Structure 1
Amino acid sequence: MAASEVVEIELKFDVDAGHTAPDLRALPGVIGATEPETFTLDATYFDTENLDLAGNRITMRRRTGGHDAGWHLKRPTGTVGARRELRVGFDDAPADGDVPAEMLTPVVALVRTRKLIPVAALSTKRTVTTLLGSDGSPVAEFAEDLVTAQSLLPGGHFQEWAEWEFELLGDRPDKNVLKAAEKILQRAGGRAPSSASKLARAIGSTPSVTEPHVGKRPTALELVVTDIAIHRNSLVAYDPLVRVDAEDAVHQMRVACRRLRSIFSGFPTVLDEARTAHLNEELKLLARILGEARDSEVQLALDESLLRSENASDELIATLAGAETAVHDRAIKAAHSAMNSERYFSLLDAIDELIASPPPGPDADLEATEAVDRSIAKNRKSIRKAQATLATLPEGSHEWTEQLHLIRRRAKRLRYSTDAAEPLGRKKYRKVAKAAKDIQSALGDFNDTAINRKRLAEIVGSGTASGQDLFVLGRIDARQENDSARALEAYRAVAKDL
């Protein structure tokens, strides 16, 4: 189905019904206006019984009337006054009136298996004036609305009100016009809106998702729950992006899984370990599924980097990148399948339940700083132990390489555990996190070169490469050998920082 998305930048004002609107042709860049048009817009708003969408400042509606009749999904952008609106016209929507798939994809991580039901019915008499610029193109749209709303929730009530809406139009909207319009409309009698949206006003109070934060002297449990909420939010935010295979989305969602797991492993006695073990295993499985797609993404990027500036044949390019593309496509399909499963939605529900009612462990009441210090000390000790073992192994041996990989994994665990202290805002924790990240990055680069050189050797060993391609492969291998040495040098330079 065809769908389009725009970013709305608008102002809203409450006004008295019948209040005369000001002449907005005095706005900067505006030289004229169309004749006002009046429409009747009838909309049904959909949400879950728990109001999962409204609680996240999202609205989904089916609306008739006006120039953009169809299904609309509005979501926050992070910018005050701006919202993303996804639109699907009736010609592209299911004939049976079901919610279009395009509307569900961005919110399925919030809705999960819960049914979308009508929660409000609104009828709006809208009078629209389009303001025009010097070249006759639309600059902004001013709407005078008379709204009647009926909440369809149990005990819902009927309301009527009037409001003004001013929305910037065009590919390059001028924020100065918005500021000037705000002043004019306020002077003309516009008041701050009593609700963020028509739906919020229609249904009244809704459960609101707030940004996780800790107080001045949090306990270990308070810090851990805050961190879990932060990474849960990240997981849910990247879910719709993974579903459309957006750049870097798989990586970020996988990181959210790993960070959640690092909370359980880094602070095992703060929560009841017996009650979080299953959650930890489910996150591990999800991270592994996402990891297959992520690994193929990384390898595709590496292949592109390896072939850059090289005169490689089409056959060699296909050998390096073609097969990996097919692997990536299969891995993404597997990830999507997992993310549409009841098991995945149960995992998200279980995380929410944990945040709402965390099972305390024996160290739940420790001061957060003490719990973080213990976790850092434990992880540092494990890294130093691994480094001591590394020093006893022959450099370049299989065991030596595996030990470097172990140090990298432990550095990552330390980094994630230390990042968990970020809500505390302590400088000393940031220094440890940086040192762990530097080690992880250097050894990650070393590991990449080892994987690449093994693949190059396999291609050479297959006997399928031509003479020119063999020369190219040799050049690439030489570069990788140098990169490996630099990565190892970088690791040694920062290894002592822990």
Structure 2
Amino acid sequence: MAEGHLEIEQKYDAAAGFVLPELDGLPGVASVGEPHVHELHATYFDTADLRLAAHKITLRRRRGGPDAGWHLKMPAGPDSKRELRAPLGRPLVVPARLAGLVAAYTRGAELRPVATLETRRTVVRLLGADGTELAEVADDLVTGRCGDAEPRTWREIEVELGAGAPDLLKAAGKRLRKAGAKKAKSSSKLGRLLGDAVGPAEAAAARAAARSRIAAATCNGKAPSITTGEAVMAYLAEQVEAIMHFDPKARLGEHDAVHRMRVAVRRTRSTLRSYRSVLDAERTVPLGPELRWLAQELGEVRDREVLRMRFQGAPAFLLDDLERQERSAYRRLNLCLKEPRYFALLDRLDELVMDPPLAAAAGKKARKELPGLVERAWDRMAGEYASIRTADDPDAARHETRKAAKRARYAAELAVPVLGVAAKRVVKDAKRIQEVLGAHQDGVIAMEHLAAAAKRTKIPAEAFTLGVLYGKEQCEAESARDRLATTWSQTLGPSF
């Protein structure tokens, strides 16, 4: 089950003599609570090379105040962070659950104390007419220490949104600035204290640069100048970013996180195959088996999620069994995401983006090269489709066609920023083929699960119910199978 809450706040730097202005009259604010003072002591944890700080992640153990304990804050958007908490526990032992959520960044490196902050916090609550807390304004006098360096002292004001509307945050900031406060230069106290000690998150910066180059060229009408290598690396960078983004969400079991992480892994693997003429095979081919391994581990969870959602309303004995299997699959996935093998794969994906493994064809103009590469992926799908008629195992051939449809779809997705509407049409057609074959495959998997469950039960009523469900799934799978020819006839294919 997902935990934590979304923290939306803005920070302001204030001089020692700054006087907090009156805060009544702000949007929705009916009254201002009495100020409360808290003495807070926080120890911040990070790797020796400050990997968390480089990614704007903070992990601390804080004593004092109403929320004493361990706090993990991860970026979730402009002015917002996802915060997760754990009890105080032992001073130097990071709770395993929180350590696991940042494992994609630490990758086995030790988490240790890197700084301490002593804060005298004066809190004022902004209340609605019914007493609901709309926002909290904290006036902080901070003393920070980092290693043997001299302590630093500063003052800052935080405005954290509660049940209030976003315009309250904006209005409060305007009033604070009018009173002399300034927008904070750092998004966190730790970032301010560490300053230049925090190096750039090189891999994240490389991913952003790869994406921004093609985005800027497209927006400025300069897509013809984009090279094939730039188009491929922008798409790969987007997928690697997605893997990193959904890693902690998958560990928490957030809705659809495993599915979306798995899709990013598959897109990465598919791109390395479909665009192998653009990439150095010596560096990219070894990534294939590792990406396939990770996709399979994620698939163990995803397959059970799909079945559970598919069987909503089914008898309790079937759902209970699926939920047990899903919990077991999640436990295995979390173990997998702690393995050195996984961390090594993340390292290699970072290297892929920071030092692109480009072959000679990468320097050619994308507008000329991409159509042929997309058409090749489509033709492979068409070949798989044609093989269904003569296959000894038509279901297996349909499954291979579905996988080829995904590759064609992903190949066309990559080309959309350059080829525009024509590539979008290929994406749409390939997706339609993928979906109808997916409906058939889901039915086949569901039948296999129901048949296995029927073998385990000794209760006639349960066996009968499973048989009824099996018949329903069989009808749906056959219906999807019969729609395939019609769906195929409606696709246009590439026409660049």
TM-score range for the pair, normalised by the shorter chain length: 0.7 to 0.9
Partner residue, 2:134: 139
Equivalent residue, structure 2, for 1:191:
182
| Residue of structure 2 equivalent to 1:222 | 230
> What corresponds to 1:202 in structure 2?
193
Which residue in 2 is equivalent to 1:429?
A: 423
Q: 2:395 aligns with which of 395, 401, 408?
A: 401
The equivalent position to 1:118 in structure 2, one of 113, 133, 145, is 113
Whole-Å separation in 2 of the counterparts to 1:467 and 1:117: 57
Contact 2:443 2:473 in 1 (8 A): no
Q: In 2, Cα distance between the equivalents of 1:197 and 1:191?
A: 15
CA pair 160-403 structure 1, distance change in 2 beyond 3 A: same
1:176 to 162, 167, 179: 167
Q: CA offset at residue 54 of structure 1?
A: 1.9
- Residues of 2 paired with 1:327 and 1:86: CA distance? 26
SS of residue matched to 1:77? strand
Other-structure match for 1:310: none
Query: 1:266 is matched by which residue type in structure 2?
Result: S
Q: Residue in 2 aligned with 1:376?
A: 374
Secondary structure class of the residue paired with 2:471: helix
* Superposition deviation, residue 265 in structure 1: 0.2
Aligned residue for 2:13? 14
Deviations 1:248-294 (A, max 9, x none): 22222221211110121011122211122222211111112222222
- In 2, are the aligned partners of 1:3 and 1:89 still within 8 Å (CA)? no
Aligned residue in 1 for 2:221: none
CA contact (8 A) 2:123 2:136 kept: yes
Of residues 158, 162, 183, the one that matches 1:165 is: 158
Aligned counterparts of 2:125 and 2:454: Cα–Cα separation in 1:
66
Distance 2:2 2:456 in 1: 47
Instruction: For structure 2, list consecutive stretches of 5 or more residues without a partner in the other structure.
Output: 218-224
1:311 aligns to what? Answer: none
Return the offset for 1:15.
2.0
Q: Cα 1:425–1:446, aligned 2, differ >3 Å: closer, same or farther?
A: same
| 366, 383, 386: which one aligns with 2:384 | 386
Identify which range, 205-214 or 62-71, moves more after superposition.
Answer: 205-214
Residues 50 and 424 from structure 1, CA distance in 2 versus in 1: closer, same or farther, beyond 3 angstroms?
farther
Bigger shift: residues 192-201 or 26-35: 26-35
User: How much does 1:22 deviate?
Assistant: 0.8
Worse-matched range after superposition: 449-458 or 242-251: 449-458
Q: 8 Å contact 1:443–1:488 — kept in the other structure? A: no
Instruction: Give the AA of the match of 2:487.
Output: A
Which AA in structure 2 matches 1:426? G
Q: Distance in 1 between matches of 2:323 and 2:247?
A: 22
1:245 aligns with 2:253: yes
Count residues in correspondence.
Answer: 475
Are the equivalent residues in 1 in contact too, given 2:2–2:253 (CA < 8 A)? no
| Worse-superposed segment, 252-261 or 45-54 | 45-54
CA distance in 2: counterparts of 1:48 and 1:463, whole angstroms: 51
**1:446 aligns to 2:440 (yes or no):** yes
Q: 1:366 to 1:152 in 2, by over 3 A?
A: farther
Cα distance change of structure 1 residues 53 and 435 upon mapping to structure 2, 3 Å threshold: same
CA contact (8 A) 1:442 1:491 kept: no
Distance in 1 separating the partners of 2:248 and 2:55: 15
Match of 1:82 in 2: 80
In the TM superposition, residue 432 of structure 1 has moved relative to its aligned partner by 0.6
Pair 494,214 (structure 1): closer, same or farther in 2 beyond 3 Å: farther
Q: CA deviation at 1:151?
A: 3.7
SS in 1 for 2:140: strand
Residue 96 of structure 2 corresponds to residue 101 of structure 1: yes
Listed one character per residue, the Cα deviations across residues 8-30 of structure 1 (whole Å, up to 9, x for unaligned) are 22222122211122111232443
55-64 vs 327-336, which deviates more? 327-336
Structure 1 pair 381–139 and aligned structure 2 pair: CA distance change class (3 A) = closer
Partners of 1:473 and 1:178 in 2: CA distance: 57
Deviates more, 1:134-143 or 1:273-282: 134-143
Q: Counterpart of 1:76 in structure 2: which amino acid? A: P
Instruction: Give me the whole-angstrom Cα distance separating, in 2, the residues matched to 1:121 and 1:185.
Output: 27
- Are residues 137 and 404 of structure 1, via their aligned partners in 2, closer, same or farther at CA, if it must alter by over 3 Å? closer
* Cα offsets for 1:408-450 (capped at 9, x unmatched): 1111111122222345472211111111110010011122334
Equivalent residue number for residue 336 of structure 1: 334
Structure 1 residue 321: Cα displacement: 4.4
How many percent of aligned residue pairs carry the same amino acid? 35
Question: Which segment is superposed worse, 194-203 or 290-299?
Answer: 290-299
> For residues 363 and 48 of structure 1, what CA distance do their matches in structure 2 show?
40
**CA deviation string 1:304-334 (max 9, x = no partner):** 37x4xxxxxx5xx63x545444443333332
TM-score where L is the length of structure 2: 0.85
Distance in 1, matches of 2:180 and 2:41, equals 27
**Structure 1 residues 357-372: aligned runs within 5 Å:** 357-372=355-370
In structure 2, the partner of 1:477 is: 471
Following the alignment from structure 2 to structure 1, what is the Cα–Cα distance between the partners of residues 403 and 18?
Answer: 65
Residue ranges of structure 1 left out of the alignment (5+ in a row)? 308-313
TM-score, normalisation: structure 1: 0.85
Q: CA RMSD for the aligned pairs? A: 3.1
Cα contact 1:439–1:491 (8 A) shared by 2: no
Q: Which amino acid aligns with 1:354?
A: L
User: Is the CA contact (8 Å cut-off) linking 1:213 and 1:423 kept in structure 2?
Assistant: no
How far apart are residue 55 of structure 1 and its match?
2.3
Q: Which residue pairs with 1:149 in the alignment?
A: 144
* Structure 1 SS opposite 2:362: coil
